Structure 1
Amino acid sequence: MATIYASARSPQNERAEPVQSGLSARRLAAFSTLAIPFTAAQLPILNFLPAIYAQQFGISLGALGTIFLLERLWGVFADPLVGTLSDRTRSRLGRRRPWIAAGVIVFALAAAALFFPPAGVSPLYLGLALFTFYLGCAMIQIPYLAWSGEISGQYHERTRVATFATVASSSALLLVILLPALIDHLHLGDDRLKLGAMGGFVLLALLPAAWLTLRAFPEAPAREASRAKPLGPLATIRVIAREKLLLRVILSDLAVTFGQGVRNTLLLFVVSIYMGLPEWGATLMLSQYIFGIAAGPIWMQVASRIGKHRAAITGELVQVAINLGLLALTPGNLGLLIALTAAQGLAQGSGNLMLRAMVSDIADQHRLKTGQDRTALFFSAFSISMKAGMALAVGVALPLVGAAGFDPAAAHNSPTALTALLVTFAVGPALAHLCSAALLRGFTLDEAAHAQIRRELDRRAAGAHA
């Protein structure tokens, strides 16, 4: 039987004891709280910070674009490095806790610099703060994702862990997007207040959330995890390239994130310009997050019946149908738009949730084959696919609709340009989700196969300790 480490004793005295019951919902909720400030910081930095720094501090769009592009390249280096070092860390506190605790400090300092900037801000200041911020993100996210897959070795329990984190993330997005909406009603146009309010929420939530997460579960004793051999950059690429199932999950997640990114990039343009309903833009965006909170538990139940990869395929095919339904939108047709937005919210987390839970299963299979535990390294590759999907979506969607003649600043757009906007908004994500489903077809690591892997790993561990 797979072992679940459910002791909640202090890190100094912990000796994890195996139990056969499911993980405590209270402890899972505590463990997931770190996702709230972490996720809450991502949306304003991507959606609000560039415009505010351009308008308030005079940083050119070219400089902003260069800084954010270099940050993506920095993540390609930083994420695998943190993953490899976390896998090799041995300390009294475990492999994951020291990195998360140090990352929280780096993250907090950089977030304070970004959300509460001084009067005179240069591109160098923004670049250093942003690079430090994403270093802190990597130090938190990669070990946290790896740890979330190690709390339980059971197939469906890992889906539960991912579901709790998904609900926490959706709640954080809902809370943080409410702040600028409220400020617009009270102090219209006060961008510095918006930035400070969102930053204050992140910083106030960070320390309590980190405390709850770090104490929610102990880590498995170090003796039960093999020490991964050090790898250079080329060797790291070769290890990941040999894991065919991991590559399929990474590419599937890239497609999911790309589809979501295209939709989010063009949503406000479609609502305000194509539909002619600018007053509904923020409300519809909020509704997606509200329904997204309910999506996690729904898809967790689906996965418990048909398995993770089949649930992911089902969710992606549902997304295809919903996005193709957007082609039926006509200007002013608010009822259909609300219905499809609600359906989108209920379906949107299916792929992300299942794919994340599947990475830990693949890491178990790799450990059985090679004797090397590279869970955090595999999650770092997964993290890169998420970032690449978002960057690719913006880089493809905006130039594509621009080439078709769409201009968001124009008083009037031609029918051809508006049709191109709608088609890109609907068909682009539909094709991406279809690709995601196709990549998972015939996925061999199901519940039965994973149970066999865990039995063999447990047998080896028992033999090593005999």
Structure 2
Amino acid sequence: MKERSQVNTGRLLAYALPVIPLSMMMGPIGAILPAFYAKHTAISLASIGTALFLIRLFDAVTDQLVGYLSDVTESPFGRRKPWLAGGVLVSALSVYFLYAPPPTAGFGYFFTSIFFLYLGWTLIAVPHLAWGSELSRDYRQRTRISSFHAFLGPLGFALIMAVPLLPVFENSEMTPDAIFLMGVIVMISLPLFIVPCLVFAPQTEVTAAGNPSVRDLFNAVRGNRPFWLFVAVLLLIGSALGMLATCIVLYMDSFLGIGDKISHVMIVNMGALLASVPLWVQVVYRLGKHGALALSCGLNIIVIPVVLLIPPGQDSFVPFTVWMAAVAMAGGATTVVPMSILGDVIDYDTLKSGANRAGNYFALMGFVQKAAAAIGGGVAFYMLSFFSFDAKSASQTEMAVFGLKFSMVGLPVLITVIAVILVLKFPLDARRHDIIRRRLDQRKA
């Protein structure tokens, strides 16, 4: 049976366009900017880890506040669109400072810049994700919608990673000039891609029994068991990937000796992730969302340790690039599935409570994703500091190299094993969600 709320492909593309500048803006934070600051500014590895941890305390407030306010906003342009427009200005200003640090930049500069960057991301991404969950309640259609996110995200990251390869630079390293130009491009891309979304993306009709109060929200979320299982899985997977992403640039530069190939490798990585999206969509249709996610995590458990077989030196470029492509393809479901699963969890809450809290739920998801990345990155930086790893040094001790490998491979694999166990316990499959959807349709009728 064809879903009545299927979204036209062109309008769905318009809706998904903001993913491109958001990925261009946020992608380098996990893999590039912390390592860049550690190498080119006065801030230490431990201070970067502390800043990433502290920023989560503020996110716990701002994410929920924006989510709640976007749920109760009333305007001629809908509930979500005004927030995206406001987020463009905050994001653009913060990008300018974060991507152009002076050599003397320390903890205060890094923390302030990244705080406003995350605030800008929250103003755009939280309402945007909630908006997406309202485009359709169909189990498969939600996977289709989230696949647009999963496809355009890597595309945006690949575009920004191509900047150091431009002929205006003498080499392809992440120099201050290259980082600055990346920031300028992000600033331009924000209105370039978000304005078409505001103009052409479809409005949504939301089924809700009034505006939820903060107290009702707390009580509903507290008793939503599928949501908390989803949060645990998201936190584990995000922390593991955060540790991996944090260490990759340092591993290439300080251990393999191919720091000048970072952009090349990242572009191939994103290309492989793009190619994997339609494949993982088909896997979701066959195995269900939680089945596909468990398979994806299981493949990463196998693929990630293979990097330890690659010896350092210039000859490592090709095998390491192949490994990065394999990691991207193996983990593709982690970009396709979460948004779609949360839409189902929100339907479960709506059936129980009668209120639509999509903004708050996606705010919680955004907070968990950022917290997971920060925990992973923070733990990795603390581990590297503990093992006396020095990002500014041309050579590393054996103990420092061990710490780098353990932070990049050992801990992420152990964490992912736990995530797989929890994923397999997730209760909302296609059959159960179909029951929820039919009951919601009956209530609406």
Q: TM-score, normalised by structure 1?
A: 0.84
Of 235, 238, 248 in structure 2, the residue corresponding to residue 257 of structure 1 is: 238
State the partner residue of 2:278: 297
CA displacement, residues 308-340 of structure 1 (integer Å, 9 cap, x when unaligned): 111111111111111233343344573543432
Structure 1 pair 73–143 and aligned structure 2 pair: CA distance change class (3 A): same
8 Å contact from structure 1 (residues 289, 345) kept in 2: yes
State the partner residue of 2:341: 358
Single out whichever of 57-66 and 306-315 deviates more from structure 2. 57-66
State the partner residue of 1:18: none
One-letter amino acid of the counterpart of residue 294, structure 1 = A
State the partner residue of 1:215: 199
The DSSP-based 3-state class of the residue aligned with 2:162 is helix
1:285 offset after TM fit, Å? 2.8
CA displacement, residues 326-377 of structure 1 (integer Å, 9 cap, x when unaligned): 3433445735434322211212231232122100100001100111211111
- Percent identical pairs in the alignment equals 28
User: Any residues of structure 2 matched to 1:438-457 within 5 Å, and which?
Assistant: 438-457=421-440
User: Any residues of structure 2 matched to 1:302-321 within 5 Å, and which?
Assistant: 302-321=283-302
8 Å contact from structure 1 (residues 44, 198) kept in 2: no
Of 105, 125, 130 in structure 2, the residue corresponding to residue 146 of structure 1 is: 130
1:405 offset after TM fit, Å? 5.3
8 Å contact from structure 1 (residues 183, 190) kept in 2: no
Of 370, 375, 387 in structure 2, the residue corresponding to residue 387 of structure 1 is: 370
8 Å contact from structure 1 (residues 184, 190) kept in 2: no
State the partner residue of 1:11: none
Q: Is 1:106 equivalent to 2:90 in the alignment?
A: yes
8 Å contact from structure 1 (residues 183, 194) kept in 2: no
Single out whichever of 97-106 and 242-251 deviates more from structure 2. 97-106
1:29 offset after TM fit, Å? 1.9
Q: Is 1:340 equivalent to 2:334 in the alignment?
A: no
Partner Cα separation in structure 2 for residue 221 and residue 24 of structure 1? 16
Of 264, 267, 271 in structure 2, the residue corresponding to residue 283 of structure 1 is: 264
CA displacement, residues 401-442 of structure 1 (integer Å, 9 cap, x when unaligned): 443455455555454553453344222222222222111113
CA displacement, residues 36-62 of structure 1 (integer Å, 9 cap, x when unaligned): 111211134556556777888867878
1:225 offset after TM fit, Å? 2.7
1:399 offset after TM fit, Å? 3.0
User: Any residues of structure 2 matched to 1:187-266 within 5 Å, and which?
Assistant: 191=175, 193-222=177-206, 224-231=207-214, 236-266=217-247
8 Å contact from structure 1 (residues 107, 137) kept in 2: yes
Single out whichever of 46-55 and 236-245 deviates more from structure 2. 46-55
1:202 offset after TM fit, Å? 1.6
One-letter amino acid of the counterpart of residue 199, structure 2 = R
1:101 offset after TM fit, Å? 2.1
8 Å contact from structure 1 (residues 2, 152) kept in 2: no
Partner Cα separation in structure 1 for residue 388 and residue 107 of structure 2? 32
One-letter amino acid of the counterpart of residue 268, structure 1 = V
8 Å contact from structure 2 (residues 269, 321) kept in 1: no
Structure 1 pair 250–433 and aligned structure 2 pair: CA distance change class (3 A): same
1:302 offset after TM fit, Å? 0.8
Q: Is 1:422 equivalent to 2:405 in the alignment?
A: yes
Structure 1 pair 286–217 and aligned structure 2 pair: CA distance change class (3 A): closer
State the partner residue of 1:38: 22
User: Any residues of structure 2 matched to 1:16-165 within 5 Å, and which?
Assistant: 22-45=6-29, 68-115=52-99, 129-165=113-149
8 Å contact from structure 2 (residues 94, 116) kept in 1: yes
Please identify the structure whose Cα radius of gyration is greater.
Answer: 1
Structure 1 pair 183–114 and aligned structure 2 pair: CA distance change class (3 A): farther
- The Cα RMSD (Å) is 3.3
8 Å contact from structure 2 (residues 31, 247) kept in 1: no
8 Å contact from structure 1 (residues 287, 345) kept in 2: no
Partner Cα separation in structure 1 for residue 104 and residue 408 of structure 2? 38
One-letter amino acid of the counterpart of residue 412, structure 2 = P
Partner Cα separation in structure 1 for residue 87 and residue 4 of structure 2? 26
Partner Cα separation in structure 1 for residue 347 and residue 277 of structure 2? 24
1:400 offset after TM fit, Å? 2.6
Partner Cα separation in structure 1 for residue 350 and residue 235 of structure 2? 24
Structure 1 pair 284–115 and aligned structure 2 pair: CA distance change class (3 A): closer
1:118 offset after TM fit, Å? 9.9
1:154 offset after TM fit, Å? 0.8
CA displacement, residues 52-102 of structure 1 (integer Å, 9 cap, x when unaligned): 778888678787666554432211110011111111222332211222222
8 Å contact from structure 2 (residues 284, 292) kept in 1: yes
CA displacement, residues 1-20 of structure 1 (integer Å, 9 cap, x when unaligned): 79654xxxxxxxxxxxxxxx
Structure 1 residue runs of 5 or longer lacking an equivalent are 6-21
The DSSP-based 3-state class of the residue aligned with 2:204 is coil
Single out whichever of 419-428 and 76-85 deviates more from structure 2. 419-428
Structure 1 pair 107–401 and aligned structure 2 pair: CA distance change class (3 A): closer
Single out whichever of 92-101 and 40-49 deviates more from structure 2. 40-49
One-letter amino acid of the counterpart of residue 224, structure 2 = E
Count of aligned positions: 443
User: Any residues of structure 2 matched to 1:174-185 within 5 Å, and which?
Assistant: 174-182=158-166, 185=169
Partner Cα separation in structure 1 for residue 340 and residue 9 of structure 2? 17
